């Protein structure tokens, strides 16, 4: 019994040491201890076809992700980190073709570019990195019928990818 208690205590102490060093956390981020703030610019939408809520929804999802998984304070300007996202395209294309040569499925794809600046550790920065996510839907449905749920899933994927590329450095 003592062995298990000792092993459990050792694990707990090691976990606190790793989390406390500031370089690694259990959320998967690798934010250095001297980085305290982040500025997340409102997402810009430069796509030819514009979903009116997409940019705002993505901005809020990014802010929520950083708030939940980091201890960074979000500031309006002059953060230690800066994240700038631009939606470049919002496209629907036919995917699967049925035997009567009509589209069986359509694919909504959103592509964006992200610039991440780490002012304290510039080697961790990247510029205009491209991210894309898509969702397929039945061609019998109109985009208007499924757009909200498709966009929610696409935003989740994009935010996860951008978060991982910036502060998790995957």
Q: What is the pLDDT of residues 78-134, one digit of tens each?
A: 999 999 999 999 999 988 777 777 778 999 999 999 999 999 999 999 999 999 999
Range of the domain at 152: 35-168
Measured over the CA atoms of residue 122, residue 30, residue 40 and residue 110, the dihedral's sign is: positive
**Domain check: are 26 and 86 in the same one?**
no
**Domain check: are 68 and 94 in the same one?**
yes
2 or 22: which leads in pLDDT:
2
**Domain check: are 4 and 39 in the same one?**
no
**Domain check: are 48 and 72 in the same one?**
yes
Residue 29 CA to residue 26 CA, distance in Å, equals 7
Closest CA to 108 of 75, 70, 160, 146: 146
pTM for the model: 0.80
**Domain check: are 96 and 132 in the same one?**
yes
- pLDDT score at 16: 46
Residue 159, SS3?
helix
pLDDT at residue 7 is higher than 60: no
Q: How many domains does the chain have?
A: 2
**Domain check: are 22 and 40 in the same one?**
no
CATH number of the domain that residue 53 is part of: 3.30.160.150
Task: Output the CA torsion 62→68→71→73 (10° steps).
Answer: 50
Residue 93, SS3?
strand
**Domain check: are 132 and 95 in the same one?**
yes
What is the separation, in whole angstroms, between the first and last Cα of the chain?
A: 40
Report yes or no: 33 and 72 within 8 Å, Cβ to Cβ. Answer: no
**Domain check: are 53 and 14 in the same one?**
no
pLDDT, tens only, 16-63: 444 444 444 444 567 899 999 999 999 999 999 989 999 999 999 999
- The confidence band for 168, taking pLDDT boundaries of 50, 70 and 90, is confident
């Amino acid at each position: 019994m003592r062995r298990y208690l000792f092993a459990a205590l050792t694990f707990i102490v090691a976990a606190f040491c790793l989390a406390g060093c500031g370089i690694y956390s259990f959320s998967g981020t690798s934010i250095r201890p001297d980085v305290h703030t982040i500025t997340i610019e409102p997402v810009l939408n430069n796509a030819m076809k514009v979903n009116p809520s997409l940019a705002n929804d993505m901005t809020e999802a990014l802010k929520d992700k950083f708030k939940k998984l980091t201890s960074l304070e979000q500031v309006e300007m002059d953060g230690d980190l800066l994240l700038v996202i631009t939606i470049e395209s919002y496209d629907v294309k036919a995917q699967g073709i049925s035997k009567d040569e009509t589209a069986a499925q359509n694919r909504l794809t959103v592509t964006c570019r992200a610039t991440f600046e780490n002012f304290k550790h510039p080697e961790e920065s990247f510029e205009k990195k491209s991210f894309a996510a898509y969702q397929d839907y039945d061609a019998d449905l109109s985009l208007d019928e499924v757009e909200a749920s498709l966009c929610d899933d696409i935003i989740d994927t994009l935010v996860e990818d951008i978060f991982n590329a910036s502060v998790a450095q995957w």
